[in-house]
Chain A
Amino acid sequence: AQSVTQPDIHITVSEGASLELRCNYSYGATPYLFWYVQSPGQGLQLLLKYFSGDTLVQGIKGFEAEFKRSQSSFNLRKPSVHWSDAAEYFCAVEGGADGLTFGKGTHLIIQP
């Protein structure tokens, strides 16, 4: 069965600084990978996805992620964070028809 690890439960970043959120997955074949963001009290919004092809994928709100098969990683990056980026971020992998497997999430705090 597939699994996802997000090693950082909380991350604090100053506004304007760069951001990298880590995600490691375990899956036997080529994975379908996703990053979702959840603002407090809200549902989940897709930031970006990787299915195949270019290993650097661009998403909404200035986010990007890089798929590295050799490291089983799919880290999320943003060059300069804004206060509105404060939220919970979830990495997820899809291994087939039985839905997504999510990491436990990383809570992003933005310092002014």
Chain B
Amino acid sequence: NAGVTQTPKFQVLKTGQSMTLQCAQDMNHNSMYWYRQDPGMGLRLIYYSASEGTTDKGEVPNGYNVSRLNKREFSLRLESAAPSQTSVYFCASIPGQWAYEQYFGPGTRLTVT
């Protein structure tokens, strides 16, 4: 039981390049989330998926797209990376839709030059 896994762990992109961050959970959880963490800002929600087939915007969705491929996987795509997207990205999941602790992945450290 690996919990929440994220790939890659580290990534460096040039401005304008695209990439997809992958997240998978093996706990049969319904809801999944993408957060970004910036120094002095805490974690901010980018997108979430309350169930398979649904996605919704969070606090900072601009410049990102997501796909809930199936119940296990929730990917985050940067179509045209910008330096402002340099951050650490965390994926999380919970069993239901709310009132549960969130289980976090180890994070992806992304640098955009």
Contact = CB atoms under 8 A, between A and B. Distances in A.
Interface string A76-94: 0000000000000010101
A60 B35 CA distance: 24
Interface of B: 31, 33, 35, 40-45, 48, 50, 56, 58, 90, 92, 97-99, 101-102, 104-107
Interface of A: 4, 9, 32, 34, 42-46, 49, 51, 90, 92, 94, 96-105
30 contacts: A32-B98, A34-B101, A34-B102, A43-B90, A43-B104, A43-B105, A43-B106, A43-B107, A45-B104, A46-B101, A49-B101, A51-B99, A90-B43, A92-B43, A96-B98, A97-B31, A97-B48, A97-B50, A97-B97, A97-B98, A98-B48, A99-B35, A99-B45, A99-B92, A99-B102, A100-B45, A102-B42, A102-B43, A102-B44, A103-B42
